[in-house]
Amino acid sequence: MTENTPDEIAVGIDIGGTGIKGAIVNVTTGELLTDRKKLPTPEGGKPDDIAATVAELVDTLGEIPAHASVGICFPAVVRHGVTMSAANVSKKWIGFEAEKLFEKTLSRDITFVNDADAAGFGEVRYGAAKGKGGLILMTTLGTGIGSAIIYDGVLVPNAELGHLEIDGVDYETKAAYSAKEREDLSWKKWAERLQKYYTTLEKLFSPDLFLVGGGVSKSYEEFLPLLSLDTPIIPAELRNNAGILGAACLSTMRTTFLE
């Protein structure tokens, strides 16, 4: 481990549909200070079971300084610590006091945020869009489509742009990576859907940059060159660490001067 000042150390946990990952990180440098640990997401994805698995995961990270903040990201809208949606997770999360449950289970303060918000913020802070200003739209192409809006380094939380209605349907059902797999679409056929999706986003937001994350972004050469957009579109860089780093960093940024 390098020398870390106490306020640089934070914990990031990324809860996904199949796995829960976490690490202790340095939020100044974006370095992982421990190995990334992973446990399978419990069957059914219910809140108590997930919280118990997160506690187990945190125990495997070794000693965590008492003052280190903890950020946890999850695939749902999260308003003031309450999960408000459940597109691809157990419906038990709707209207659920998630932040409180994890604080009780881990016996410490935590910050609970949306997974794509964390990943997008992580990419702007440490990854593919490091230090870039302007309007950046992060999209994660996985089971669903996650999105994050970051303007001049400031995150506008809970953009749910994966659920834009296009051609009369919730478009993540057409353009998420899961749709490619489910329908066995070629890269070309899938890219046609992505073309429609990103053109719609372009029209609505006039962004300066699109970032594309999610596991499939490692194969970006197969589909990004097939898109024709006015906005630059680039793959995310932090891969499996984006959510961990973004959640950890967001947890250190809670303002104390607002009510």
Amino acid identity of residue 233, one-letter, is I
> Using CB under 6 A, which residues numbered 172 to 191 contact ligand BGC?
172
Looking at 30-38, 138-146, 222-230, 234-242, which segment touches ligand BGC (CB under 6 A)? 138-146
> Using CB under 6 A, which residues numbered 102 to 131 contact ligand BGC?
114-116
Give the interface size with ligand BGC as a residue count (CB under 6 A): 16
Q: Burial, 87: exposed, middle or buried (Cβ in 10 Å; 0-12, 13-18, 19+)? A: middle
Q: Which residues pair with 235 in a beta bridge?
A: 212
Question: 113: number of CA atoms within 13 Å, CB side?
Answer: 33
Q: Is residue 104 classed as helix, strand or coil in its secondary structure?
A: helix
First to last CA, the chain: 37
94 binds ligand BGC (CB under 6 A): no
Tokens 């994660």 correspond to what residue?
Answer: 140
Q: Are the C-beta atoms of 245 and 125 separated by less than 8 Å?
A: yes
Looking at 22-30, 63-71, 123-131, 142-150, which segment touches ligand BGC (CB under 6 A)? 142-150
162 binds ligand BGC (CB under 6 A): yes
Shortest approach of ligand BGC to residue 119 CB, angstroms?
9
Question: b vs e for 214-251, b when ≥16 Cβ sit within 10 Å of the residue's Cβ?
Answer: bebbeeeeebbeebeeebebebbbbebbbbbbbbbbbb
Q: Which of 11, 13, 24, 77 binds ligand BGC (CB under 6 A)?
A: 77
Nearest Cα residue to 250 out of 31, 29, 72: 72
Q: Apex CA 141: angle with CA 178 and CA 181, to 5°?
A: 20
Shortest approach of ligand BGC to residue 256 CB, angstroms?
27
76 binds ligand BGC (CB under 6 A): yes
Looking at 26-34, 96-104, 137-145, 220-228, which segment touches ligand BGC (CB under 6 A)? 137-145
Shortest approach of ligand BGC to residue 149 CB, angstroms?
12
14 binds ligand BGC (CB under 6 A): no
Would you tell me which residues interact with ligand BGC (CB under 6 A)?
75-77, 85, 87-88, 114-116, 140, 142, 144, 146, 160, 162, 172
